[in-house]
Amino acid sequence: MPNIAVFIEQRDGAFKKVAWQMISQARKLADANGGEVWGVLLGGDAAAAAALAGKHGAHRLFAAADGLERYDSERYGTALAAFCRAQNPDLVLIGATAMGRDLGPTAAAKLGCACVSDAIGLKFEGGAWEVRRPVFAGKCFVDVVPKTAPAIVAIRPNAFMAADGGGAAAPLASFDAGQAQAAPKAVVREIVSADGGRVELTEADIVVSGGRGIKGPENYALIEDLAAALNAAAGASRAVVDAGWVDYSHQVGQTGKTVGPNLYIACGISGAIQHLAGMSSSKCIVAINKDAAAPIFKVADYGLVGDLFEVLPELTKAVRGIRG
Amino acid sequence: MKIAVCVKQVPDSETRINLAAPAAKLDQTGFTRVLNPYDAYAVEEAVRIKEARGGEITAITVGPVTVKETLKKDCLAVGCDKAIIVDDPLLAGADEAAIAEVLCAVLKREAYDLILFGIKAIDDDSGQIGILVAEKLGLPHVSTITKLELGEGSLTAHREIEGGREIVDCPLPAVLTCQKGLNEPRLPSLPNIMKAGMKPMQIVTCADLGVAPPASLVEIRQYSPPPARGACRLITADDAAAAARELARVLNEEAKVI
């Protein structure tokens, strides 16, 4: 029975929505192949997680809280490995987030099991899992088959759609998280927020990015204004980051963040291959550029050839009109 | 301070992958190969630590000996003292777990205070090796660091997370994975590239390390090109304002994405 465990990430009690996306997809696979979907929660509000996990299709929720209120790789890695040893899931899905990218290999090494990073597709065929992931930042895909059970697979946020199946709260079970209460060697002393309320690039539904065409740091506000109107994250090309106009945490591309939102709006970005690599899996791409020959138009679904200094304020206004 | 920096040679980020149809292997001949850009932050950080406190830096890589030039120019010429290359045909197609195992065999030969990695290599985009090595060696790790302060026998690192950062205190020895923003890597000078040729570069096999080539836990089935995108629909209007309004309308009513 290929039971699938899904790690439900929480920080300060707030759940990452990639958990519900993974549970929804796991439920589809479980319905087709047999097996159950189990939520796994470390720290946080188990009752709230059980309600949301059940709604998206989880059969059960396993929760442990002792010493696990705040993430650190050692305690969480120990707890997740202990869960796997006790419950023997066939597959463990983790969001490919800052936490998940750290936790996956940590737990995998403890279990001696396979770990696959940043997956965007998952199939169960002939008794084996086949995982699709982009390599070369999306310039091509590779399908891999983990050879261990469990296998840990990190799923890129927004790769799957969350589906509210209207299920009741998942029945709760606790589990023994092993030595997770022991003091870790590496201690998270403090968490500092960059700037409050900013929408995070890798999990945003919409991303608005600016390139060299914005001409200077003072004009990045045009990008941020449109992003704010769309409740979107603000991104940037490498040129803009390397020029020091915005912080590197905004960079989209092969040496920055890889994003796959529903809508990606590239403003004044020519579309160098290193940038395209980071955003070409976006579902809908809009390019705004005054150079009609810019390569960005080759990957765009919608293009607007024009001066972004004229277009963006009007677009922001029009979006505000639509979204009220 | 004894520092190890584990690096990888990767195709340049401008590389085009020409793959028309699914294939069991990716033809990588003719690719321009460079030091993985994230590894450059690890090398630079190691060099800065050495400049401040003294010590020795060993650059370590797993890969064919064609990596030599990259190691010389981007590691030895900017301040690493020696290099170790694990070159073994038995490691062709090895996955993350296997490579981590091999790196551990190299790292165990000396007592390093600090082991640095880039956050990920830009070819397989996996980002696991540093963390796997830390776990296998029983060392603490801090991944995705953008700032590092060394104390006596300990360190404080800033770890990038969504919308902020964690400040992590960690004892030495430790493993760190380095993210853009940590530092600005220097470029090698021509005289230093010349001198780097004199620095020791050791080439070893798994047998030399006394380990059997480790098994891979993940099997590659096939590579495929990403799905082709449809043609671009150009939005046109009399002026920029009208075009912007039309774009907003299309995104709302037709594409239904806003």
- Once rounded to an integer, what is the mean pLDDT over residues A115-134? 95
| Contact residues, chain A, for B222 at CB < 8 Å | 142-143
Q: Over pLDDT 70: what percentage of chain A? A: 98
- B99 pLDDT above the threshold of 80: yes
Domain containing A167 — which CATH number?
A: 3.40.50.620
Contact A284 B217 (CB under 8 A): no
Q: What pLDDT band is residue B224 in, cutting at 50, 70 and 90? A: very high
- Please answer whether residues B116 and B45 qualify as being in contact, where contact means their C-beta atoms are separated by less than 8 angstroms: yes
- A196 pLDDT above the threshold of 70: no
- Is residue A60 located within the same domain as residue A158? yes
- Is residue B115 located within the same domain as residue B163? yes
Q: In this structure, which amino acid lies at residue A29?
A: L
Look up the domain containing B237 and give its range.
226-258
Could you give the ipTM of this predicted complex? 0.95
User: Can you give the pLDDT at residue A180?
Assistant: 65
- Is residue A110 located within the same domain as residue A23? yes
Look up the domain containing A135 and give its range.
4-174
User: Can you give the pLDDT at residue A138?
Assistant: 84
Which tens digits make up the pLDDT trace of A13-67?
999 999 999 999 999 999 999 999 999 999 999 999 999 999 999 999 999 998 8
- Is residue A211 located within the same domain as residue A165? no
Contact B135 A188 (CB under 8 A): no
- B7 pLDDT above the threshold of 80: yes
User: Can you give the pLDDT at residue A194?
Assistant: 77
Count of domains observed in chain A: 2
Domain containing A226 — which CATH number?
A: 3.40.50.1220
- Is residue A35 located within the same domain as residue A125? yes
Give the minimum alpha-carbon distance from B244 to chain A in angstroms, rounded to a whole number: 5
- A195 pLDDT above the threshold of 70: no
Domain containing B133 — which CATH number?
A: 3.40.50.620
Return the ∠ at Cα B138 (arms to A92 and A66), rounded to 5°.
55
DSSP A311: H
Q: Residue B119 and residue B45: Cα distance in Å, rounded?
A: 13
Mean pLDDT of chain B: 96
- A197 pLDDT above the threshold of 80: no
User: C-alpha distances in angstroms, B34 versus A248, B74, B75, B120, B122?
Assistant: 21, 9, 11, 14, 11
Of A139, A263, A286, the CB nearest to B17: A139
Nearest to A227 by CA among A210, A251, A244, A248: A210
- Is residue A141 located within the same domain as residue A276? no
- Is residue B239 located within the same domain as residue B147? no
Pairing of strands A151-155, A187-193: unpaired
Say yes or no: B65 contacts chain A, CB-CB below 8 A. Answer: no
Chain B, nearest residue to A248 by Cα: B181
Q: Say what the alpha-carbon torsion angle A128, A134, A139, A144 is, to the nearest 10 degrees.
A: -20
B220: in domain = no
- A124 pLDDT above the threshold of 90: yes
- Is residue A166 located within the same domain as residue A223? no
- Is residue B149 located within the same domain as residue B233? no
- Is residue B115 located within the same domain as residue B159? yes
Say yes or no: B212 contacts chain A, CB-CB below 8 A. Answer: no
Q: What pLDDT band is residue B85 in, cutting at 50, 70 and 90? A: very high
A20: in domain = yes
- Is residue B64 located within the same domain as residue B126? yes
- Is residue A169 located within the same domain as residue A213? no
- Is residue B197 located within the same domain as residue B231? no
Contact A283 B257 (CB under 8 A): yes
- What DSSP string runs through A54-76? HHTT-SEEEEE-TT-SS--HHHH
Question: With the C-alpha atoms ordered A37, A43, A44, A45, is the resulting torsion angle positive or negative?
Answer: positive
Contact A137 B160 (CB under 8 A): no
- Is residue A62 located within the same domain as residue A15? yes
Backbone dihedral angles phi then psi of residue B137, each to the nearest 5 degrees: -90, -5
A17: in domain = yes
User: How far, in whole angstroms, is CA A192 from its chain's centroid?
Assistant: 20
B159: in domain = yes
- Please answer whether residues A144 and B219 qualify as being in contact, where contact means their C-beta atoms are separated by less than 8 angstroms: yes
- B228 pLDDT above the threshold of 90: no
Contact A321 B248 (CB under 8 A): yes
Q: Residue B102 and residue B206: Cα distance in Å, rounded?
A: 7
Give the minimum alpha-carbon distance from B167 to chain A in angstroms, rounded to a whole number: 5
Of B141, B218, B240, the CB nearest to A146: B218
- Pick the residue of B155, B222, B247 with the most A CBs within 10 A to test the interface with A by mutation: B247
- Is residue B129 located within the same domain as residue B46? yes
- Please answer whether residues B91 and B62 qualify as being in contact, where contact means their C-beta atoms are separated by less than 8 angstroms: yes
Q: Residue A51 and residue A61: Cα distance in Å, rounded?
A: 9
